[in-house]
Structure 1
Amino acid sequence: MKDLIIYISIVLFLCPAIAFAQTKHIPAHDPVMIKQDSVYYMFCTGMGITVWSSVNRVDWKKEKPVFAEVAGWVLKELPGFKGHTWAPDIRYHNGLYYLYYSVSAFGKNTSCIGVATNKTLHPSSPDYRWQDHGKLVQSVPNRDDWNAIDPNLFIDDDNTPWLSFGSFWNGLKLVKLNKDLVSLEEPQEWHNLASRRRDASLPDSVAGNAAIEAPFLFKKGKYYYLFVSTDFCCRGLKSNYKVMVGRSEKVTGPYTDKNNIPLMQGGGSLVIAGDTANWTAVGHNSVYQFDGRDYIVYHGYDAKDNGKSKLIIRELSWDAAGWPVVSDF
């Protein structure tokens, strides 16, 4: 028995991903994650932004939402908005936590990205208070051919902050931020990241079928990796969401896939898709390094539970050519 205990201890020491991979599949949609001290916090789409906490990345406790009520600026831009806030992103920089979030009308590009800051993520701290800085980016039907949702903050090797975002329409965008991370740098600098072919006859107010969204940037070695989600989410058992990737030696692109096809021309190499037996579809990922290992965090539609959206965490490794590989289910 003593030898068995020693063996198990050695395995867990050498392979912490074993414990990590057993995270409970709690309800989640568009999950992003961060660690403060010994606590992991996960932010997801939900009323006022759903928040979960965990000390072991396995068992999760639901916390109070970020926003108790809808901000006045949101009601001004989206009259009748009820508080179901989409696709947050959380980052720590220069002593503050920055939370980017989306408010939108479903299926329309009447959308805004807002940003809030906090000194701490611990709700018990006297410093815990979210300060909403309001609108950062906005898209308007019949004016813009892009959609201001699914934000992701990335700070490059030159300490320049960038915000990637987008869903459907003509694809994913990248815009440079000011050093304060709550405003756009002027004069504005914009780049196109990825796109799929769209029916040009459709009016600007219609999403169409060029399904690509949820950009997430991650630097590994000399490459910037752009993870995106393609095809359709939010349809339960009928969803066919999947995660694709391209890479570039510059944060602004161009991003190409394994076959050197630009993501701006519909390219993208498959990272992970539904396996039908467990998950009908998976997507809207984020990527992190915890304890010296890389992980991909995303949601999946549970094939054994009527397509309900749930949290999935998998270790991310890299093949000989430097492309991401996700551990098996």
Structure 2
Amino acid sequence: MRIAAVASLVLSLLSGPSSSYANPVSADFADTFADPAVIRGLDGYWYSYGTSDPLREGEGRHHRLPIARSSDLVEWTYVGDAFGEDNLPPYAAPGSLLWAPEVRYLDGRYVMYFTVTNTASTPHPWDFSIGVATAPSPTGPWTHQAAPVVPPRPAGDSYWNTIDPAQFTDADGRKYLYFGGFFGGLWVTELTPDGLRTVGQPTQVAIDNKSEGAYVVRRDGFYYLLASSANCCAGPTTGYSVLAGRATSPRGPFVDREGQPLLASRAGGTPVLDQNGNRWIGTGHHSQLTDLSGQDWMLYHAIDRADPFLDEPYGINERPMLLDRLDWIDGWPVVRAGAGPSERPEQAPVTRGSVDERFTGDLSGWRGTDGWTVQDGYVRHGTGNGTAATLISRRGIGGDLRAETDLRLTGRSGGLRIGGATVLVSGNELVVTAGGARRTAALPGGAATWRNLAVTVKGRTISAQVGSADRLGDPRATVRLDSPVPLSGTFGLVAEGQADFDNVSVARLSTPVTRPAPVPRPGTLLDADEFDGTGRGWQWVREDTSARVTGGVLRWPVQGADLVGTANAASVLLRTPPEGDYIVETKVTLDLGEDTVRNYQQAGLVAYVSDDDFARLCQVAIWNTRQVEYGRELPFAGRLSYGGNIAGPPAKTTWLRLAHRVDPANGEHEFRAGSSRDGKTWTWAGVWTFPKDTAPRIGLVAHGGAQPAVDAEFDYVRVYRSK
């Protein structure tokens, strides 16, 4: 007990929370680093890959898929571009851009997927395809394949958005590639074992006009599809956000937390990341990782609303790289428990442990070194003659912890010893033994390449998983065992026959966040119009005489007009809100049908300063989808800028809320959007802000298109004090 207690104290001191960071983490090397992908290399460094933009303001030169490196996920250094200026794939048309890289370690080499904006074999200027290249290291040299892994896909006289690749390997070893965007939706196709060609026919997994930038992980028996929604690049009104669905198969069907399919016309999607009213807007196109403590993190890009463009206004959107904690609450991923992007110092990821060995020196920190030799950055046991041995760390261990190693086998078995338990990769099995207890799981082939073995100890429970050495959330095998013997004391490497080990660590296990961040809640009713003929206090901007109160509802024919742009022909029905923090709510029925194009009929709430300065929350028809869009228009740099953020899926009858808060630090008016399909379960989305010297009024709109004729029916407007 004494040894375990001392070991636990040492572990806490050495791997506990002791450092912090502040966004954006790309500031040291880039002003913009969009669409960041991330992996951990076999050298122990983290690598991130960005879309082909200039890195700095005033630079004026596009970097062709720039690469950055970090030892701690916080301080990053630019290390070069994946490709030179003239190094395009052989099938790319001259002048093509390369976007949205995705990199994985597959069967002994690094494979990069990326978007090619213009393919030489077709005449269309935006005939996107997915390219692929391979390399022996995270920084290259990268070798293009002769043909795209996914060629352009015709859509009438145009082409579907064949963009934003995301690779995933399932537990059975099958490889998949997700791709697609707003025009055409999201798709998944199986890949050949080498990951360079497709197999069979692709399957659509999310409806078009809703999302792009897919990313897939497997957790607790579910496949989670996370994707970015709304617009990536609208400068100061960019409303990009990340939504999720999950399925029991990598091909779907994916549904959100309320069971709404991502393929439905009223498309589902559970919020993962949204702008929260601080400096960051347009939060999205992400990748994910797990630190040494077992905590998940998200790397993504965002836009500083005070500095939205790289150089001149309405040029390249400036999208630096951000890092934030990714929590899992009630089975769903959410950034910072729902608090959204951070702008103040946060606890940094755990990237070094009490045991932290990269084998760049001798074995002075270990016992039982006979038969073990340090090679070029890793340690090797044996020569393949079947001899078994254990290399024991001189540091004891105890308490809840996470241990891991990169492992490559040519002998019979190799793994970790943790107290009285042994975790081995043996042939095609993952085997955990402790006392007389034993558990196994089948493991697909690939023992001769590097794989990652991660072991978690929580009390007397030991959990082990084997995945790719890039450590990106696609475990091949998982075993859990309640140990009859203590899991404290010694820690070591175990091998029978030849085995190589690298990046060995032990860190204190992270404590998961299980309580969601607070959301707006209505308190005392301050004001209401139940549309029973007694309501007062409304004012029109361009009165619509066809709107009428009858039968306890406000019936308002959807107008063939709009507020977006300079026409400003649509009517707005307004009232003055109370002082301070409040929530305005309405219930609106709008029969927009399904799966047909009815652009852009909508109805809902508005926070309004002027015709050119407003935020509207409406259920709306966007081509064949029905969405709850939270749009913002404002004047910027001599123009009007408009962009949208997406809330929860609508129903024929949808409840909408705008929660108003005055930021005590700067006096800004913050309006957060919420929606519900039943008036009980609410989905909260992003925040749009208004300057402190404005006085936004609240109200209703029903506009966007008069054909086919449809009435918006508002049951009430209620204003509550916020709790």
Could you say whether these structures have the same fold, taking a TM-score greater than 0.5 normalized by the shorter chain as the test? yes
Name the CA shift for 1:72/1:44 in 2 (closer, same or farther; >3 Å).
closer
Q: CA deviation at 1:72?
A: 5.2
Paired position in structure 1 for 2:36: 31
2:171 is aligned, of 157, 160, 163, to 157
Measured at CA, do residues 230 and 62 of structure 1 come closer, stay the same or move farther in structure 2, by a change above 3 Å? same
Find the counterpart in structure 2 of residue 3 from structure 1: none
Partner of 1:65: 81
The residue number in structure 1 matching 2:352 is none
Determine the C-alpha separation between the residues in 1 that align with 2:103 and 2:229: 22
Whether the 8 Å CA contact 1:53–1:63 is kept in 2: the answer is yes
Within the alignment, does 1:192 sit opposite 2:191 as a pair?
Answer: no
* Segment of structure 1 superposing worse, 107-116 or 32-41: 107-116
Q: Which has the higher strand share?
A: 2
**Higher deviation after alignment, 304-313 or 225-234:** 304-313
Task: Name the counterpart of 1:318.
Answer: 328
**Whole-angstrom CA distance in 2 between matches of 1:25 and 1:39:** 16
CA distance 1:258–1:178, change in 2 (3 Å)? same
Shift of 1:22: 5.9
Tell me the amino acid that sits aligned with residue 219 of structure 1. R
Please tell me the residue identity of whatever aligns with 1:131: T
CA 1:118 to 1:281, structure 2 compared with 1: closer, same or farther past 3 Å?
A: same
Q: Which moved more, 1:28-37 or 1:268-277?
A: 268-277
Shift of 1:121: 1.9
Q: Contact 2:191–2:197 (CA<8 Å) still a contact in 1?
A: yes
2: CA distance, partners of 1:165 / 1:283: 16
Unmatched segments (≥5 aa) in structure 2: 1-8, 53-62, 119-123, 310-317, 343-723
**1:177 corresponds to:** 191
Q: SS where residue 151 of structure 2 aligns?
A: strand
Q: Work out the CA distance in 2 between the residues paired with 1:238 and 1:216.
A: 24
Shift of 1:285: 1.1
State the Cα distance separating 1:245 from its structure 2 match.
0.3
Please tell me whether the aligned partners of residues 82 and 141 of structure 2 are also in contact (alpha carbons under 8 angstroms).
Answer: no
The structure with more radius of gyration: 2
Matches within 5 A, 1:246-257: 246-257=245-256
For 2:589, the equivalent position in structure 1 comes to none
CA contact (8 A) 1:285 1:299 kept: yes
Q: Could you tell me which amino acid in structure 1 is paired with residue 79 of structure 2? A: E
Tell me which residue corresponds to 2:220.
221
- CA offsets 1:69-105 (integer angstroms, 9 cap, x no match): 2325234xx3x324x3100101012110110010115
1:49 alignment counterpart: 65
SS for the counterpart of 2:319 is: strand
Alignment of structure 1 residues 136-155 onto 2, 5 Å: 136-143=149-156, 146-155=160-169
Letter in 1 for 2:236: L
2: distance between equivalents of 1:218 and 1:182? 20
Q: 1:20, 1:150 → 2: CA distance?
A: 28
Shift of 1:297: 1.2
Deviations 1:97-121 (A, max 9, x none): 110010115x975101111111112
**What residue is the counterpart of 2:104 in the other structure?**
91
- Rounded to whole Å, the distance in 1 between the matches of 2:333 and 2:283 is 16
Give, in angstroms, the shift of residue 281 of structure 1: 1.6
Q: What is the percentage of aligned positions where both structures have the same residue?
A: 28
* 2:301 corresponding residue in structure 1: 299
C-alpha separation in 2, matches of 1:102 and 1:52? 19
Q: Which AA in structure 1 matches 2:75? A: D
1:189 Cα deviation (Å)? 2.8
Q: Tell me how far apart the structure 1 counterparts of residues 182 and 220 of structure 2 sit (CA, whole Å).
A: 30
Following superposition, the deviation at residue 14 of structure 1 comes to: 2.8
Deviation of 1:35 after TM superposition, in Å, equals 1.1
Contact 1:272 1:326 (8 Å CA) reproduced? yes
Name the CA shift for 1:293/1:129 in 2 (closer, same or farther; >3 Å).
same
Q: CA deviation at 1:13?
A: 2.2
- Report the residue type matching 1:31 in the other structure: P
Q: In structure 2, do the counterparts of structure 1 residues 138 and 267 end up closer, same or farther at CA, with 3 Å as the change threshold? A: same
Amino acid corresponding to residue 70 of structure 1 in structure 2? N
The whole-number CA distance in structure 2 between the counterparts of 1:67 and 1:218 is 28
> For residue 250 of structure 2, what is the amino acid of its counterpart?
V
**Count of matched residue pairs:** 296
SS at match of 2:263: helix
**Are 2:117 and 1:130 aligned?**
no
Trace 1:71-86 onto structure 2 (pairs within 5 A): 71=88, 73-75=90-92, 78=93, 80-82=94-96, 84-86=97-99
**Which amino acid is the alignment partner of residue 270 of structure 1?**
P
TM-score normalized by structure 2?
A: 0.39
Distance 1:90 1:289 in 2: 16
Task: Label 1:229 to 1:22 Cα distance change in 2 as closer, same or farther (>3 A).
Answer: closer
8 A Cα contact 1:212 1:229, kept in partner: yes
Conserved? CA contact 1:136–1:184, under 8 Å:
yes
Distance 2:269 2:115 in 1: 25
Counterpart code for 2:150: V
**Aligned in 2, Cα 1:62/1:48: closer, same or farther, shift over 3 Å?**
same
How large is the RMSD of aligned CA atoms in angstroms? 2.4
Tell me, what secondary structure is at the counterpart of 2:258?
coil
